[in-house]
Chain A
Amino acid sequence: MEKVMKKVIKTIAIANRGEVAVRIIKACQELGIQTVLLHSEADVKTRAYRMADKTVCIGPAPTNESYLNIDRNIQGAVGAGADAVHPGFGFLSENADFSDAVESAGMIFIGPTGDSIRKLGDKVSCKEVVKSLSLPLVPGYEGDTQNVEFLVSQAEKIGFPVIVKAAAGGGGRGMKVLRNKEDAKELIDSAQREALSAFGSAKVFLEKYLDRAKHIEFQIFADASGKVRHLFDRECSVQRRHQKIIEEAPSPSLNTELREQMGNAAVQIVSKVGYRGAGTVEFLLQDGKFFFLEVNTRLQVEHPVTEMISGVDLVKMQIRTAMGEPVFPAEPWKIRGHSIECRQYAENPFMGGIPSTGIIGKIHFPEGYGRRFEYGFEEADEVTPYYDSMIAKIIVWDETRTRAIQKMLYVLSETIAFGVHTNIPLLKKIISHKEFIDGSMTTRFFDTHFSDSLVKPPLTELQKFILASESKKGNSAFGKLDNSVNTNPWNGNWRLV
């Protein structure tokens, strides 16, 4: 156990946007810490901008000129007098060079060291760590040779289906499933391009694609002294194109024994590299066996469900750890109840999920006990096409999984968002599906049952009546709702970049 130096943090610069920037600001407010928002030109009319104590525009909307630009973030933070930088998730949060640059500039990076990120965050080198611990890995290829023909031959060796992934980041970007030799070259090419665009590195690796696996991840935390503990598991099997849509804690699929084995494995892996702060170890669980997938060396989008079942505040823990404070309680954490999170995306579920941008109209979240909403936009703010389409997270907690599902269904129905289309109708269908309710869903669940667009129902008599009566009041007469088009213009033609 290292001797821990206490550090003073009076001002934190937030190198992120949207709902996570709001989340970090709230934690800072509660700790009496000043906040500086490092934002792009497209994020001025946002909740985080209004809440921050100071704001610094670090560039135009495109991410490589703003949120992905290390120099601009550093200059912005230093110029505003920040003692520390919180990178949120995505963007530069798993960029080892950024972590190093923050420290070199005399500030504290709220996250692990560049060295830990290199060892664990790189999706390839972390496998070496896992191998050294004799823990189970998904079979694959992680070599330096990146020549496409060679990768295709490696894929053949592993045996199709094979998944190709970006070494430098996650979130579904730069990921493709190869099912045969014929399509493999084009898909690998595409994955390398997407990886370069999303993370600044075209390096990819290959893994055997487990086609009826559950995605189970463990929240780990390393305190200022280097001690590592886990805060249980989450299941994130509801994914579309490897992008999570719904997450929950704890997983309905783990028994006590598996939870203990996997939790211990997660702690062992992270303990090997001198880690600090929050991280997540991801596994695939298939036929009762678990396989290490990757480590995310950052706070994750779905962290709220862990907070809801364990009673912790992970962001405050991150900040206090960066200040050298102890954060682990004397008694072990316990799981209480069940929590589910739905990601609200600005997209039209009746047109195959095509992105929806525009000015937000009335927005309303039905507050209540065991209901939590993380959102970055309010009425009159604009959802732009420059960033991913998640506009809010809708989280519930209840005493059992069944009650949590029931509560979520109610909360989704009572959530109002005008001005942009959102995926709420799709979310409701998903959590009402038998396979979700009985917890048997695998990562194939979404593609199997929801690959076709939802069909827009015709207006009901009540809806028509209300619209007509509003028009009599002097609002514009409503036109025919276009029922003729239930096309899915995406038809498998879209993928994450």
Chain B
Amino acid sequence: MIWSEIEFQGKIYKYVLQTKGSNQWLHVLGETVAVDLKDAGSSKKSRRKSDGSSTAVGIDAPMPGKVTKVLVEKNQQVKKGTAVIVMEAMKMEYTLKAEIDTTISEILVQVGQQVTLGQNLVAFLMPIEKKDESNG
């Protein structure tokens, strides 16, 4: 492994850095960090992407994987916490739940379908309560 060197506040540090796609990976002082270059400026967008699951508009896939169960139907009213979709990836089953009381507007995937990270899975109708989403 070929390390780079840098001087910072009077000391020399060894590090390894690699850019892969939109991410920069850095290892220094025994820790690895990954920085998403696309995140510059848009914290709202990146919150949605990295949270990946349920928002006021629907449910997105938090990871690439396969849809194994669709537990709701179009126009069904669901309460906060209701299980909506079950996905599987890397031998783990993950249940995606509605984060608000809402109504299912569209089911955008079918059982057995492979989906990508962030792919829209289910769309909600306008929520019954308008929630003030603070995106930090």
Q: Is B108 part of the contact surface with A, judged by Cβ < 8 Å?
A: no
Contact (Cβ within 8 A) B26 A463: yes
Q: Is the CB of B95 within 8 A of A494?
A: yes
Say if the beta carbon of B118 comes within 8 Å of chain A. Answer: no
- Cβ 8 A contact of B91, one of A389, A477, A489: A389
**Across the interface, do A421 and B34 meet the contact criterion of CB distance under 8 Å?**
yes
Across the two chains, which residue of chain A brings its CB closest to B54?
A489
A361 near B39 (CB under 8 angstroms)?
Answer: no
B97 and A385 contact, CB distance less than 8 A: no
Set of chain A residues within 8 Å of B25, measured between Cβ atoms: 361-362, 418-419
Kindly list chain A residues whose C-beta atoms are within 8 Å of the C-beta of B136: 484-485
| Distance, CA A417 to CA B17, complexed state (A) | 11
The answer, yes or no, to whether B89 is at the interface (CB within 8 Å) is: yes
Q: A364 near B92 (CB under 8 angstroms)?
A: no
CB of A450 closer than 8 Å to a CB of B: no
Query: Is the pair A467, B50 in contact by a Cβ cutoff of 8 Å?
Result: no
Instruction: Across the interface, name the chain B residue whose C-beta is closest to A492.
Output: B95
**Chain B residues, CB < 8 A from A416:** 1, 16, 27, 32
- Contact between B51 and A487, CB atoms less than 8 A apart: yes
Q: Are B33 and A459 in contact (CB under 8 A)?
A: yes
Q: How far is the CB of A91 from chain B (nearest CB, A)?
A: 11
The residues in B between 75 and 101 inclusive whose CB is less than 8 angstroms from any CB of A are 88-97
Complex formed: what's the CA distance from A463 to B31 in Å?
Answer: 10
**Residue B38 CB within 8 A of the other chain:** yes
> Are B90's CB and A355's CB within 8 A?
yes
- Asked if A481 and B35 sit within 8 Å, CB to CB, the answer is yes
Asked whether B126 is an interface residue with its Cβ less than 8 Å from the other chain, the reply is no
| Contact of A490 with B26 in the complex, beta carbons under 8 Å | no
Q: Mark A462-497, 1 if CB is under 8 A from B, else 0.
A: 110111011000011111111011010110011111
Q: Number of B interface residues, CB 8 Å?
A: 52
With an 8 A cutoff between CB atoms, is A194 at the interface? yes
Number of residue pairs spanning A and B whose beta carbons lie under 8 angstroms apart: 154
Which one of B8, B36, B89, B97 contacts A355 once the chains associate, using CB atoms below 8 Å?
A: B89
Is B46 interfacial (CB-CB < 8 Å)?
yes
Q: Is B43 an interface residue (CB 8 A)?
A: yes
With A362-B1, A417-B32, A462-B28 in contact, is A482–B90 under 8 Å at CB?
A: no
- Contact string against A for B residues 35-54, beta-carbon threshold 8 Å, 1 for contact and 0 otherwise: 11111110100110011110
Q: Is B113 among interface residues, defined by CB-CB distance under 8 A?
A: no
In the complex, A490→B20 CA distance in Å? 26
A418 and B64 within 8 A (CB):
no
Describe B's contact surface by its main secondary structure.
strand
Chain A proximity of B50: nearest CB distance (Å): 5
Q: How far is A91 from B105 in the complex, measured between Cα atoms in Å?
A: 40
Contact with B along A434-466 (1 / 0, CB 8 A): 000000000000000000000000010111011
| CB <8 Å contact, B91 and A466 | no
A490 to B43, CA, bound (A): 21
Q: Is A226 an interface residue (CB 8 A)?
A: no
- Which of B1, B20, B43, B46 is within 8 Å of A364, CB to CB? B1
In-complex Cβ contact of B35 among A347, A388, A467 (8 A): A467
Asked whether B1 lies within 8 Å of A389 as measured between CB atoms, the reply is: no
A465 to B62, CA, bound (A): 31
CA distance A482 to B50 in the complex (A): 9
- Shortest distance in angstroms between A381's beta carbon and chain B's nearest beta carbon? 13
**Cβ-defined contact, B17 with A497, below 8 A:** no
Q: Is A39 an interface residue (CB 8 A)?
A: no
Q: Is the CB of A357 within 8 A of B47?
A: no
B93 & A387 in contact (Cβ 8 Å cutoff) = no
Look across to chain B and name the residue whose beta carbon is closest to the beta carbon of A364: B1
| Min CB–CB distance B79 → chain A (angstroms) | 16
Taking a contact as CB atoms under 8 Å apart, the answer to whether A387 and B91 are in contact is yes
Task: Assess A465 versus B53: contact at CB under 8 Å? Given A414-B30, A478-B24.
Answer: no
Report yes or no: A466 in contact with B93, Cβ–Cβ below 8 A: no
Do A364 and B94 touch across chains, with their CB atoms under 8 A apart?
Answer: no
Question: Which of these, A465, A485, A490, contacts B94 with CB under 8 Å?
Answer: A490
B1→A413 contact, CB < 8 A: no
Is residue A351 within 8 Å, beta carbon to beta carbon, of the partner chain?
yes
> Which residue of A is nearest B13, CB measured?
A462
Chain A residue, CB-CB nearest to B39: A479
| Cβ contact within 8 Å between B91 and A173 | yes
For B1-17 the 0/1 string (1 means CB < 8 A from A) is: 10000101000010111
Asked whether, in the complex, the Cβ of B64 is within 8 Å of the Cβ of A351, the reply is: no
Interface bits A305-323 vs B (CB < 8 Å: 1, else 0): 0000000000000000000
Contact with B along A346-382 (1 / 0, CB 8 A): 1100010011110101101000000000000000000
Complex formed: what's the CA distance from A482 to B20 in Å?
A: 17
Does any Cβ of A come within 8 Å of B58's Cβ? no
* C-alpha gap A461/B6 in the complex (Å): 13
Q: In whole angstroms, how far apart are the Cα atoms of A107 and B92 in the complex?
A: 34
Provide 25 A-B residue pairs closer than 8 Å at the C-beta atoms, listed in order of the A residue.
Answer: A347-B90, A351-B50, A354-B62, A357-B63, A357-B90, A361-B18, A362-B25, A385-B63, A385-B65, A386-B90, A388-B90, A389-B92, A418-B34, A419-B25, A462-B13, A465-B8, A475-B19, A477-B40, A479-B39, A482-B43, A485-B50, A485-B136, A489-B51, A495-B92, A496-B91
What is B's interface to A at a CB cutoff of 8 Å?
1, 6, 8, 13, 15-20, 24-41, 43, 46-47, 50-53, 62-66, 88-97, 135-136
Q: Supply 14 further A-B pairs (C-beta < 8 A) apart from A362-B18, A417-B32, A494-B95.
A: A173-B91, A355-B89, A362-B16, A389-B92, A416-B27, A418-B18, A466-B26, A467-B26, A478-B40, A479-B41, A480-B39, A482-B43, A496-B93, A497-B88
State the 5 A-B residue pairs at the shortest beta-carbon distance, nearest first: A479-B40, A413-B30, A484-B136, A418-B25, A355-B90
